[in-house]
Amino acid sequence: MPTKKYDLLGMRSNIGGPFLRESKFGSEISANSLNKVQKGDFIYSRLFAWQGSFGEIPDNLSGCFVSNEFPIFCVDRSRVDPKFLTYWFGLPSTQSRVERDCYGSTPGTRNRFKEEFFYELQAPLPSLDEQAKIVQRLDSTRAKLNEVRALKIQQEKELSSLVFALLNGPKSSPYRRIAFGEVATHRSPDTVVRPDVEYCFAGVYSFGKGVFVGDKKVGSEFSYDRLTQIRSGDFLYPKLMAWEGALGVVPTSCDGLFVSPEFPVFSLNEERILPQVVDAYFRHPATWPNLDASSKGTNLRRRRLHPSAILQHQIPLPPYEVQNAVAKLLTEHGLSPKPHYDSDLEVLFPAMLHQIFERQGVEPKTVHTVSKPSVVDFPQLQTTAIDAPFKEAVLVSAIVKAFYQDGGQPIGNFRLQKAVYFARRHMGESALDKDYLRKAAGPYNPSMRYSGGIKIATDKEWIKRATGRFGEGHALSSVAAEMDEWIERYQFAAAAAWVRDRFKFKSNDIWETLATIDYAMLALDHRGTRPSPASILTYIEGDDEWRPKIGKLRLTEASIQNAMVELQNLFPVEDSGTLK
């Protein structure tokens, strides 16, 4: 009805459940019909089922509405607890099964999960008493994790506010402010680029997350003729993103890396101001509006902060004893360059779900949420070995096409190497050590670029070198029809889309971490050694090429355990195969 107002629901990912998204009059809604939900209904999002958008309607959302994109089910409560069912849909292996059944060829339809696949799912079905115990245990754990997350976020906010207040001094008598140029000297690019030399770049996260280790590129892969080599204690920022909090002091983990001329670099006079003080000041949100006002440009996303402007920026200069106290406080309590606690907590709960549902030997049974489902077994993925350079070229082209069509940007050599590795793993290969070497940014396949898939695909003009917003990489070329025929023949489009959808929003560090841990697990398994966080860390530590990864990627037994849980979700054991 055009004049009636409807409360419309959305679905959170990771079994976060339904929520009130918005309220609209009927005249503002394009759909011809809506479905009304009731307390206790089980619901999911067709489009985002692959992200875990399943859940039960709570009492406070009863009577709200959803579109036809949200199938609604009545649960047989004499057999299954809806909350138990919701937790089962959060299980990594369940998510993998849902992902396999998603379909579609365009970004808007690619991941829709049809009801017929929902009806075919099989879930463990212990007694109602046992289900209640499991739900109670998981509810308690989830509440504690949310409490820890909230406490850590609050702790970091309070620490940042305390440090900022200390730097500025008492409100009644604030510390003297000086131009940043009094304690900082702008350095010009000092390294002449050679086309045959590999350079490891640094980057700066927005929103005060600090400096990080970026990609490695050979000089011939980018257009800059000079770079700046950064040192621990330097201050830098990207001209384009400084107004968004992308500033920071170089940590020891980034000492000796390089940045392009788009990143102004400054040496600090540590006799007057400590690097930790500069880092904390510029990474605090209260500083950014002033930098925004100093940035030049008419287009919001193209506004630049030039070195001359930041050198004129007024910063507080606290007494040296206060600076030392701030540095000690940051050292003891840590103002992390990029918080890891969120990702750590996010993998703890799926790991617990895995422990409860899959390690306790609960026999799977059909969950009859409706009256008409037919139960079928889930099909196993077929192993597709990449056993020839030409076949590898087809896979390379499929991946370049998938990424380019999704975002319109080239994919760099670092990501393309990893994407081919992940695609081969997804298609069932598990003996990749003869193709991939343990290089610094590896696993790395040198032949792919010089005589294998990348070289062949480039020579056949399926792909080409191109420059985009994020630098140089590989984009689609002119001979699309021939390439598409081979992609269809080998059926590589699905694997390429899988890699894109699972990894496109992950940082390069996560790409490298997952590929490194996965490779180490395979290598240990082939040796007859059971992969564990300790054995993987020992394996990496024992290799001269890979040992620096421990510091670069902050590898610990805890972080490796988290990566192993994610890898188990990405590459279930039953999907593994052998390279023929």
The total number of structural domains that make up the chain: 3
* 580 within a domain of the structure (yes/no): no
The CA-atom distances, in angstroms, between 254 and each of 166, 192, 374, 446 are 27, 20, 56, 25
In a shared domain, residues 420 and 312: no
CA angle 375, 381, 382 (to 5 degrees): 130
Out of 126, 155, 188, pick the residue that ends a domain. Answer: 126
Out of 126, 156, 177, pick the residue that ends a domain. Answer: 126
Long-range contacts of 540-545 (CB under 8 A, 24+ apart): 540/516, 543/438, 545/438, 545/439, 545/440, 545/442
d(CA 508, CA 471): 14
Return the CATH number at 310: 3.90.220.20
pLDDT digits (tens, 9 = 90+) for 140-160: 888 888 888 888 878 878 888
Q: What DSSP character marks residue 435?
A: T
Q: What DSSP character marks residue 477?
A: -
In a shared domain, residues 177 and 289: yes
- For position 11, what pLDDT does the model report? 93
In a shared domain, residues 216 and 91: no
- For position 554, what pLDDT does the model report? 86
In a shared domain, residues 214 and 313: yes
In a shared domain, residues 200 and 121: no
- Asked if residue 213 lies in contact with residue 509, where contact means CB atoms within 8 angstroms, the answer is yes
In a shared domain, residues 79 and 176: no
pLDDT digits (tens, 9 = 90+) for 279-310: 999 989 999 888 877 766 544 445 788 999 99
Q: What DSSP character marks residue 112?
A: B
- For position 347, what pLDDT does the model report? 60
Structural domain boundaries enclosing 304: 165-333
- Asked if residue 72 lies in contact with residue 14, where contact means CB atoms within 8 angstroms, the answer is no
Q: Which amino acid is at 466?
A: A
Tokens of 340: 């890891």
Instruction: pLDDT tens for the chain, 580 residues: list them.
Output: 778 889 999 999 889 899 998 898 888 888 788 999 999 999 999 988 888 899 999 999 999 999 989 999 998 899 999 999 999 998 877 877 787 777 543 434 446 888 888 888 888 888 899 999 999 989 988 888 888 888 887 887 888 888 899 999 998 999 999 999 999 999 999 999 998 888 999 988 888 888 888 878 888 888 899 999 999 999 999 988 788 888 999 988 889 999 999 999 999 999 999 999 999 999 899 998 888 777 665 444 457 889 999 999 999 999 999 999 998 888 777 554 444 445 455 566 776 777 677 555 454 554 444 433 322 222 333 344 445 788 889 999 999 999 988 878 889 888 999 999 999 999 888 766 566 777 776 787 777 877 788 888 888 889 998 887 777 889 888 767 778 888 988 889 999 999 998 888 888 888 999 999 999 998 888 778 888 888 899 888 888 778 888 888 888 888 898 888 888 888 876 433 332 2
* 317 within a domain of the structure (yes/no): yes
- For position 369, what pLDDT does the model report? 45
In a shared domain, residues 196 and 324: yes
* 437 within a domain of the structure (yes/no): yes
- For position 368, what pLDDT does the model report? 43
Q: What is the 3-state secondary structure (H, E, C) of 336-360?
A: CCCCCHHHHHHHHHHHHHHHHHHCC
Long-range contacts of 151-158 (CB under 8 A, 24+ apart): 152/339, 152/341, 156/335, 156/336, 156/339
Burial 250-270 (b: 16+ CB within 10 A, else e): bbebbeebbbbeebbbbebee
Out of 333, 348, 377, pick the residue that ends a domain. Answer: 333
Phi, psi of 133 (to 5 degrees): -65, -45
DSSP-assigned states of every residue in 188-229: PP-EE--TT-EEEEEEEETTTTEEEEEEEEEGGGS--SEEEE
CA angle 200, 205, 208 (to 5 degrees): 140
Tokens of 341: 């606690």
DSSP-assigned states of every residue in 7-47: EEEEEETTTTEEEEEEEEEGGG---S--EE--TT-EEE-TT
In a shared domain, residues 244 and 324: yes
> For 102-127, where are the alpha helices, taking DSSP H only?
115-120
* 377 within a domain of the structure (yes/no): no
* 541 within a domain of the structure (yes/no): yes
* 157 within a domain of the structure (yes/no): no
In a shared domain, residues 305 and 398: no
In a shared domain, residues 567 and 418: yes
* 349 within a domain of the structure (yes/no): no
In a shared domain, residues 282 and 221: yes
Q: Omega of the bond prior to 443 within 30 degrees of 0, cis?
A: yes
What are the strands of the beta sheet with 265-268, ordered from one edge?
A: 184-187, 265-268, 235-236, 248-249
The pTM of the full predicted model, rounded to 2 decimals, is 0.46
- Among 326, 337, 341, residue whose Cα is nearest residue 161: 326
In a shared domain, residues 526 and 435: yes
Residues facing 122 on adjacent strands: 366
* 419 within a domain of the structure (yes/no): yes
DSSP-assigned states of every residue in 374-419: ---PPPPPPP----SHHHHHHHHHHHHHHHHHHHSS-B-HHHHHHH
